[in-house]
Amino acid sequence: MPYNRAPTATAKILMPHQDTVQTVRCDLLAANGLDAGNLAQSLALIGAHHVDYADIYCQRTAYESWHLEEGMVKSGSFQISQGAGVRAVSGDKTAFAYADSLDIDSIRRSAQTVRAIGAAGGKAAVRTPSEKSVRRIHGDADPIRSMDAAAKIALLHRIEETAKAADPRIVQVMAGLTCEYDMVYIARLDGRHAADIRPLVRLSVTVIAKQGDRREMGSAGGGGRGGPEFFDDERVRGYVEAAVKQALTNLESRPAPAGEMTVVLGSGWPGVLLHEAVGHGLEGDFNRKQTSVFSGRIGERVAAPGVTVVDQGDIAHRRGSLNIDDEGNETGRTTLIEDGILVGYMQDETNARLMGVSPTGNGRRESYASAPMPRMTNTFMENGRYGPDEIIASINKGIYAVNFGGGQVDITSGKFVFSASEAWWVENGKPQYPVKGATIIGNGPEVLKHVSMIGNNTALDSGVGVCGKDGQSVPVGVGQPTLRIDAGLTVGGSEI
């Protein structure tokens, strides 16, 4: 969904949900014989040694998925996992242990283990837990229970019927629905405790189009923080139309040209290039360790004038949003690059302390079995002043990459390679024909310096992003306006 220059203006902030803490306390803690008091006592075991920080992360996650192909449900699954991760930090060293169960004995054993990172003789007092009620940016209804299995399967069948009715060349349809209900409780050595409930849904549509001997694929989908009701008729129809359009467009595609040329990137999901090629390099740990190309460059120009990049974790109902991060800090808006000048990094507790700054609500982990680290939430570039049609019309010869598929990036150097799932050859300001096999090759920090036109149509992706780092995956959002990049990008072509 597109928004204007200040996404916070459209982010509906829900009132504090007093029942959230009570629900988590009852369904997660009490159901397993835990409470805030005995978690604080376990933290006191760690506090008996000299440590800078410690926390206990309790979690239960229910996950359900359905997959339809060739008119039938090919797979369905349901699983529940729960456990606790215990962490102690001393200086720049972290000790971490986890248990695949939620019982006080396992948590105490984990606490005894991790406290060895600090020297004996710390302050062992049990701090009175202070449970914080946070503002809500999404509801907390269970998406698995809010719609029965028959209705979910009917939704997938409706997708298939709609796609096949759209064009006789659509010969195969695959659709998938996933629902997740995540409940967490975070207890910290400093006495701060926080709880959160995190629903998440995602719908995916993939179609195969056939014309003669040629077959092409198109895909679309989306999701967010909510239940299956998120997928109303209009939204589902939009996903199907986008997938069908992409597949039919690709049937008409020609081999992509190769060489360095002007490239226009579409709005929305193409922001994944910004996420991968620039966003990771702005995470605190890489900069503290001096392994990012942006290390030590606060206050320097790193992008063309007009380029403003932010990470914002409190946009209502977005896939990458969180009420609190995985260290109990509220998420918010962090400006990273402002008008081309580097002004900040994304921080968790540990890296913020070591760098002498405040945490930004970007401490994230895949699950209780993983230690947190600085991660992105919803990362995007803000609006410029040009209309998207005006940008395309400005091209003499070049590529318009409407949408992206996968890609790879080297965090240290900023070099990346991305494949375009839909792209057009543009000549004399007009799209001429779709091209196939276009890969976009460049260097993230260098590309930012060659942005010459920034569109006024900033949009976030539809809600499909998954970010990987150090073996951990978390849901994220990406976005940008339409961008014209005059140099620094090479298009690699391939034959049909």
Q: Is the confidence at residue 409, as pLDDT, over 80?
A: no
Question: What band does 133 get if pLDDT is binned at 50, 70 and 90?
Answer: low
What confidence score (pLDDT) does residue 494 get?
Answer: 53
Place of tokens 């009701």: 229
Question: What band does 9 get if pLDDT is binned at 50, 70 and 90?
Answer: very low
Q: Which residues contact 229 (CB under 8 A, 6 or more apart)?
A: 146, 147
pLDDT over 90 for what percent of the chain?
79
Higher pLDDT among residues 71 and 309, named by residue:
309
pTM over 0.75: yes
Give the pLDDT confidence of 11-25 residue by residue, as tens digits: 434 444 558 889 999
Q: What's 116's DSSP letter?
A: G
What confidence score (pLDDT) does residue 125 get?
Answer: 63
Backbone angles phi, psi at 160, to 5 degrees: -60, -45
Question: Which amino acid, 136?
Answer: R
Give the pLDDT confidence of 426-468 residue by residue, as tens digits: 999 999 999 998 999 998 888 999 999 999 999 999 999 999 9
The three-state (H, E, C) secondary structure of 7-69, written as one string? HHHHCCCECCCHHHHHHHHHHHHHHHCCCHHHHHHHHHHHHCECCCEEEEEEEEEEEEEEEEE
Distances (CA, A) of 282 to 49, 57, 93, 289, 375: 33, 26, 21, 12, 9
66 pairs with which residues across the strands? 76, 177
Question: What band does 136 get if pLDDT is binned at 50, 70 and 90?
Answer: confident
Q: Which of 430, 428, 448, 458 is nearest to 489 (CA)?
A: 448
Give the pLDDT confidence of 45-83 residue by residue, as tens digits: 999 999 999 999 999 999 999 999 988 998 999 999 999
What confidence score (pLDDT) does residue 19 get?
Answer: 82
Q: On the CB side of 424, how many CA atoms lie within 13 Å of its CA?
A: 17
What confidence score (pLDDT) does residue 437 get?
Answer: 84
Average pLDDT over residues 392-408: 90
Contact 420, 403 (CB under 8 A): yes
Average pLDDT, the chain: 91
Question: Picking from 124-133, 262-271, 307-316, 398-407, which range would have the lowest pLDDT averaged per residue?
Answer: 124-133
What confidence score (pLDDT) does residue 105 get?
Answer: 97
Gap between the Cα atoms of 93 and 339, Å rounded:
36
Name the token pair of 344.
């900040």
